[in-house]
Amino acid sequence: MRKNPPMPKNNPRIINAWATYDWANSVYNLVITTTIFPIFFNKLTREAFGSEKVLFFGFSFENTVLYSYAIALSYLLIAIISPPLSAMADYGGTKKKFMQFFTYLGAGACLCLFFFDGTNVELAIICAAIASIGYAGGMIFYNAFLPEIATEDKYDGVSAKGFAFGYIGSVLLQIFNIAMVMKPEFFGFDSDNEGARWSFLSVGIWWIVFAQIPFYFLKDNPPSNPVKINWFKKGFEELSMVWKEAKKLPSLLKFLISFFFFNMGVQTVMFMASLFGEKELHLETGSLIAIILIIQVVAILGAYLFAKVSDKKGNIFALAVLIILWILICILAYFVQTAEHFYGLAILVGLVMGGIQSLSRSTYSKLLPKDTPDTASYFSFFNVADRLSTSIGMGVFALIEDYSESMRNGIFALTIFFVIGLIVLLQINRKAIKI
């Protein structure tokens, strides 16, 4: 039994508050993972060490390879710990409390990045990894709230609203951060490096402040008679249960396999795009940050555009079109040589980035068993697939760059991931599931 009644579904105030969590934490994705931090991590370490090689606890790494390995490891860790956390949230009715914990963990790590100066590589890498764990952990419980606040026919629109809120919020802060980097003297900073460090601080503050809105409106619903459970064991039992159920639902299983592969490519591109432009094409910092900002604006349109496509043609059709466009992006990226080509390609990435993220979440929600009360476990499984595929994608990309000494060669692996994802997706019987 639960102490409180469930939250009303399709309540505009609750939905907007839920979407505000995307507004709060998406600045991490844009500023820390996509633009300013990776760009200035390369720049500051190159200035401090005089080359692309850096020392990390006495071991020598290429700066971009070290960053890739750190993100891969952090996502592997969150994949391992998410099942027991999800079990705790589901049976303890404490989704919001875990969202709060991971929010403060990730935002706190962003605040600590203020102290990175290029020489203390260990601080930067550890804080970047912890921030990614905070972001990924919070998203587990955020996503699990979707079936609790909306009916199935609203999933696509509500999911798209969340991503749109995220892109708008992150763009607003990014504009401010760009000014801090490109016009540091206006803010009283000595250099663009100092402006970058203050931008890291702003991300942590923004994340904490705006997260208070969903924390106020979303409600935990703990059981009236809590029981003692081995959460670690229970979490993996729940994961096993979801896998067994998925094997009985061919469409859900095929979607999960497809998602696992195409998500390797999507997440790796999102993490490495700015580093590719900075390292392979030697683009200017200001121009590179500006084009990533344009990507976010285009991504808002992409999320809504492909939500409309899915309404008319179905989710599977829309996802297939998106994956084909991702394959085209990878092929073009291998041959890109000029800033103009990179900027054009970046706009296309923005168009498909918002669409594929939003539709992946809503499609999975539609494929879940009807009237299941155990949404946290199912979304734990989805997030394990997300984080594990991100870890593998980043790890493979880092290994290829490490051994071939070229970021371009890793694009071959990303193309293969997308092709496999497309092939599996097209095996889903669209008429049987009607999505």
Distance CA 207, CA 70 (A): 22
The DSSP letter of residue 56 is E
Residue 415: closest CA among 427, 403, 404, 423 = 423
Please say if the pLDDT value at position 275 is more than 60. Answer: yes
% the chain with pLDDT above 90? 26
Is this structure's pTM higher than 0.95?
A: no
Mean pLDDT computed over 65-87:
84
Residue ranges per structural domain of the chain: 12-218+230-433
List 61's β-bridge partners, or say none: 54
Classify burial at 215, counting beta carbons within 10 Å of its beta carbon; exposed 0-12, middle 13-18, buried 19 or more. middle
- Give the pLDDT confidence score for residue 222 in this predicted structure: 67
Cα atoms in the Cβ-side hemisphere of radius 13 Å centred on 299: 29
Provide CB contacts within 8 A for 172, sequence distance 6+: none
Please say if the pLDDT value at position 2 is more than 60. Answer: no
Average pLDDT of the chain to the nearest whole number? 84
Please say if the pLDDT value at position 51 is more than 50. Answer: yes
Between residues 110 and 276, which one has the greater pLDDT?
110
- Give the pLDDT confidence score for residue 376 in this predicted structure: 63
Between residues 267 and 238, which one has the greater pLDDT?
267
The DSSP letter of residue 62 is E
- Give the pLDDT confidence score for residue 375 in this predicted structure: 64
Distance CA 152, CA 315 (A): 13
What are 302-351's pLDDT values in tens digits?
877 888 888 888 888 899 999 999 999 888 888 888 878 888 888 888 88
**Quick one: tokens of 87?**
């079990």
- Give the pLDDT confidence score for residue 1 in this predicted structure: 44
**At residue 51, what are phi and psi to the nearest 5 degrees?**
-165, -175
Q: Among 40-44, 264-268, 394-398, 407-411, name the one with the lowest average pLDDT.
A: 407-411
- Give the pLDDT confidence score for residue 206 in this predicted structure: 97
Between residues 95 and 92, which one has the greater pLDDT?
95
- Give the pLDDT confidence score for residue 162 in this predicted structure: 85
Quick one: 12-218+230-433 is in which CATH superfamily? MFS general substrate transporter like domains (1.20.1250.20)
What are 217-258's pLDDT values in tens digits?
988 776 666 667 776 777 778 778 888 877 888 888 899 999
129-148 burial by CB neighbour count: b if 16+ within 10 A, else e? bbbbbbbbbbbbbbbbbbbb
Mean pLDDT computed over 47-69:
89
CB atoms within 10 A of CB 340: 9
